[in-house]
Chain A
Amino acid sequence: MLATRVFRLVGNRTLSTSICLRGGHGVAKVEDYTLPAYFDRRESPLPDIKFVQQLSPEQKSLKEKEKGSWAALSKEEKIALYRISFKESFAEMDKGTGEWKSVVAGIFFFIGFTGLVVLWQRKYVYGDVPHTFDAEYKQKEVQRMLDMRINPVEGFSAKWDYENNAWKK
């Protein structure tokens, strides 16, 4: 009883769409998405409803014939009955769509676009590299690493010939 008083306060518009108040005064509007739906899915092979809901006159007479002996049905009639109940066969619903080609094409396109963005960034956004990248600085750096015998067993200095002052052949 308290609930109905609240609804009256809320306003008349809500009354028409709200749930049943008293004695079937307001009934909910049935939305499409609340009704059982038809979908072709491999894991649930028998959907809740038949595919064709409004039968044409031939389909109605076919349904009457179905009530008799099924041996009397011809092959085309059996297929027509199948198509009334189902939209796609298993073979049709499992078939690939070729969507992957569009996906791969999109991937390549956006990678290419990103490459253009990176090139633009290099030219217009980044500043100079530090002085430690200059050629003379790098030369002095390499010389110092060789003097310190960095990785003399298998690595850096192992590739330098200290006798002849050159890289090993």
Chain B
Amino acid sequence: MSLPKPAMRGLLAKRLRFHLPIAFGLSIIAAVAFKFTVTEPRKQAYADFYKHYDSMKEFSAMREAGVFESVRPTGK
């Protein structure tokens, strides 16, 4: 009945040594994954949209549809 003496000290340090690198690693991976799956495509989508954007054409189309209050459609 002679059991080995259990670890009495440094229990939190041992746990942190194991879990902190994993925590940091997973967080960094999550951030990098978000950047390359969400923010970069979104920036590209906006860039592509405004590359060939004709604001006057869009404005005229909206005006004819009658959504503005400051300018009426050209008909009246």
Contact = CB atoms under 8 A, between A and B. Distances in A.
A154 interface: yes
Contacts of B65: 147-148
Contact of A144 (B58, B61, B67): B67
A124 B48 CA distance: 52
B62 A148 contact: yes
B49 A147 contact: no
B42 A147 contact: no
A106 interface: no
A116 interface: no
B18 interface: no
A154 B62 contact: no
B68 to A, nearest CB: 9
Contacts of A144: 67
Contacts of A162: 61
Interface in A152-169: 152-154, 158, 162
Contacts of B61: 162
A144 to B, nearest CB: 7
Interface string B52-68: 00000010011001110
A147 B66 contact: yes
A153 B62 contact: no
A54 B45 CA distance: 85
A121 B45 CA distance: 46
Contacts of B66: 147
A149 interface: yes
19 contacts: A144-B67, A147-B62, A147-B65, A147-B66, A147-B67, A148-B62, A148-B65, A148-B67, A149-B58, A149-B62, A152-B49, A153-B45, A153-B46, A153-B49, A154-B42, A154-B45, A154-B46, A158-B49, A162-B61
Given A153-B46, A153-B49, A162-B61, 16 more contacts: A144-B67, A147-B62, A147-B65, A147-B66, A147-B67, A148-B62, A148-B65, A148-B67, A149-B58, A149-B62, A152-B49, A153-B45, A154-B42, A154-B45, A154-B46, A158-B49
